[in-house]
Chain A
Amino acid sequence: MVAEDRRKIALRLAVLRYLLVAVFIVLAIGFWVLQIVDHATYEEMAQNNHQRTLALRAPRGLIFDRDNRVLVENRNSYDISLVREHTRNLGRTIRQLAHVLGLDEHTVREIVDRHLDQPSYEPIVIVQDATLAQVAAVMARRLDTELPDVVVEKVPTRQYPSDSLAAHLFGYVGEVSDRQVAADGLQSGDIVGESGVEKIYNGLLMGEDGARRVLVNSMGREMRTLEEVPPVEGRRIKLTIDEDVQRAVEEAFHGLGFAGAAVLLNPNNGAVLALTSLPEYNPNEFATGIDRAQWASLVDNHERPLEDRAIQGRYPPGSVFKIVLATAALQDGIVTPDFKVHCTGGAMFYGRYYHCWKHGGHGTLDMEQALQQSCDVYFYTLGNMLGIQRIHNWAERLGLGEKTGIDLPDEIRGIAPSPAWKLRTTGQKWYPGETISVSIGQGQVAVTPIELAVMISTIANGGTRVTPHLLKAVNDGHGWKPVPPPPPKAVLHLKPETIATLHKALWMVVNQPGGTGIGAQIAGFGVAGKTGTAQVISLQGAREAAGKTSRDLKDHGWFVFFAPVDHPQIAGVVFAEHAGTHGAALAIAKFALETYLAEQQGKPLPVWPAPPKPAVALATTTTTAAGHGR
Chain B
Amino acid sequence: MFERHLYHHIDWLLLGAILTLCCLGVAMIYSVTGAVHGSGSHLYLRQIYAILLGLGALVLCLSIDYRTLADKSHLIYIGILALLLYVLLFGALAGGSRRWIPLHVYNLQPSEFAKIAVALVLAKFFGDNRQGAPTPLELGLAGALTIVPMALIAKEPDLGTAVTLIPIYVAVAYLAGMRMKMLGVLALLLILSAPLAWKYGLKDYQKSRITTFLNPSEDARGAGYQQIQARITVGSGGLAGKGFGKGMQGQLSFLPVAHNDFIFSVLAEEQGFIGVLATLGLYLFVILRALEAARLSNDRLGSYLVLGVLAGFTFQVIYNVTMSAGLAPVKGLTLPLMSYGGSSIIATLAGFGLVLNVRMRRFTN
Partner of A24, one of B221, B238, B248, B280: B280
- A-contacting 9-mer, from B154-162, B203-211, B319-327, B338-346: B319-327
Shortest distance between the CB of A224 and any CB in chain B (Å):
11
CB-CB nearest in chain A for B326: A34
Whether, in the assembled complex, A136 has its beta carbon less than 8 Å from a beta carbon of chain B, the answer is no
The answer on a CB contact under 8 Å between A46 and B284 is: no
Q: Bound state CA distance, A89 and B280, in angstroms? A: 37
- Binary CB contact string for chain B from 274 to 291 against chain A (1 if under 8 A, 0 otherwise): 001100100110011001
The smallest C-beta distance from B303 to any residue of chain A, in angstroms, reads 5
Please tell me if the beta carbons of A42 and B254 are within 8 angstroms of each other in the complex.
Answer: no
A20 to B297, CA, bound (A): 20
Given contacts A35-B237, A49-B232, A88-B221, contact A17 B288 (CB under 8 A): yes
Q: Which of B221, B231, B280, B287 contacts A34 (CB 8 A)?
A: B231
Q: Which residues of B contact A215 (CB under 8 A)?
A: 252
Q: B221 touching A42 by the CB < 8 A rule?
A: no
Q: Which residues of A contact B280 (CB under 8 A)?
A: 24, 27-28, 31
Measured between beta carbons, the chain B residues less than 8 angstroms from A50 are: 248-249, 252, 254
CB-based contact B221/A35 at 8 Å: no
Question: Do A39 and B300 have beta carbons less than 8 Å apart?
Answer: no
Is A491 at the interface (CB under 8 A from chain B)?
no
Residue of A with least CB distance to B269: A46
Chain A residue nearest to B240 in the complex (CB)? A35
Stretch of A2-10, A507-515, A549-557 at the chain-chain interface: A2-10
Q: Is the CB of B236 within 8 A of A27?
A: no
Q: Chain A: interface residue count, which band? A: 35 or more
Report Cα–Cα, A24/B235, bound state, in Å: 18
Shortest CB-to-CB span from B31 to chain A, Å, is 16
Contact (Cβ within 8 A) B232 A42: yes
In the complex the two chains form, is B325's CB within 8 Å of A31's CB?
yes
B300 touches A89 (CB 8 A): no
Whole-angstrom distance between the Cβ of A148 and the nearest chain B Cβ: 11
Residue B239 interfacial (CB < 8 Å):
yes
B152 within 8 A of A: no
**Inter-subunit contact A30/B252 (CB<8 Å):** no
Q: Using Cβ atoms and an 8 Å threshold, which residues of chain A touch B283?
A: 24
| Residue on B nearest A20 in the bound complex, by CB | B287
A87: Cβ under 8 A from any B Cβ: yes
**Complex interface: chain A residues within 8 A of B291 (CB):** 13, 16-17, 20
A302 within 8 A of B: no
Of chain A, the residue at the smallest CB distance from B233 is A46
Closest B-chain residue to A51, C-beta based?
B248
Q: Which chain B residues border A39 with CB–CB below 8 Å?
A: 235-239
Produce 1/0 per residue, A12-26, CB < 8 A to B.
Answer: 110011001101100
**Does A143 sit at the interface, judged by CB under 8 A?**
no
List, in ascending order, chain B residues with CB within 8 A of A87's CB: 221
Minimum Cβ distance to chain A for residue B336 (Å): 15
Residues of B close to A36: CB separation below 8 A: 238-239, 273
CB neighbors of A among B209-260 (8 A): 221-222, 225, 229, 231-239, 248-249, 252-254
List, in ascending order, chain A residues with CB within 8 A of B300's CB: 1, 5, 9
In this assembly, does A38 line the interface, its C-beta being within 8 Å of a C-beta of chain B?
A: yes
How far, in Å, is A27 (CB) from chain B's closest CB? 6
In the complex, what's the smallest C-beta–C-beta distance from B234 to chain A, in angstroms?
5
Q: Does A339 contact B (CB under 8 A)?
A: no
Interchain CB contact under 8 A, B174 and A45: no
Number of A-B contacts defined by CB within 8 Å = 123
Q: From residue A249, how far is it (CB to closest CB) to chain B in Å?
A: 59
The residues of A that contact B232 with a CB separation of less than 8 Å are 42, 45-46, 49
A217 an interface residue at 8 Å Cβ cutoff? Answer: yes
Alpha-carbon gap, A405 to B297, bound state (A): 103
Kindly state whether residue A54 has any CB partner on chain B within 8 Å. no
Residue among B174, B222, B238, B277 making CB contact with A12, cutoff 8 Å: B174
A228 contacts partner chain B, Cβ-Cβ < 8 Å: no
Q: Which residues of B contact A20 (CB under 8 A)?
A: 284, 287-288, 291, 314
Could you tell me if B273 and A32 are in contact, using CB atoms closer than 8 angstroms?
yes
Interface positions, chain B 287-339, Cβ under 8 Å from A, are 287-288, 291, 294-295, 297-300, 303, 307, 314, 318, 321-322, 325-327
Interface pair A12/B234, CB less than 8 Å apart: no
Contacts of B175 in A (CB 8 A): 9, 12-13
A223 interfacial contact with B, CB 8 Å: yes
State the CA gap A304–B230 with chains docked (Å): 61
A-facing mask of B189-211, CB < 8 A → 1, else 0?
00000000000000000000000
Q: Complex formed: what's the CA distance from A13 to B254 in Å?
A: 41
A218 within 8 A of B: yes
Residue A41 at the chain B interface, CB threshold 8 Å = yes
Question: How far is B176's CA from A8's CA once the two chains are assembled, in angstroms?
Answer: 9
Q: Which residues of the other chain, A, contact B303 by a CB distance below 8 angstroms?
A: 9, 13
Q: Closest chain A residue to B321 by CB distance?
A: A27
B79 within 8 A of A: no
Known: A20-B314, A27-B321, A89-B221. A10 touches B295 (CB 8 A): yes
Which residues of chain B are within 8 angstroms of A23 by Cβ–Cβ distance?
318
- Determine if A412 is an interface residue (Cβ-Cβ < 8 Å): no
In the complex, B272 has a CB within 8 A of chain A: yes
Docked-complex contact A219 and B253, CB < 8 angstroms: yes
Please name 7 further chain A to chain B contacts, defined as beta carbons within 8 Å, in addition to the given A1-B300, A12-B175, A46-B236, sorted by A numbering: A13-B307, A20-B288, A21-B288, A35-B276, A49-B249, A50-B248, A217-B254
Pairs of residues from A and B, 6 with the lowest C-beta to C-beta distance, nearest first:
A42-B235, A46-B236, A217-B252, A88-B221, A218-B253, A35-B273
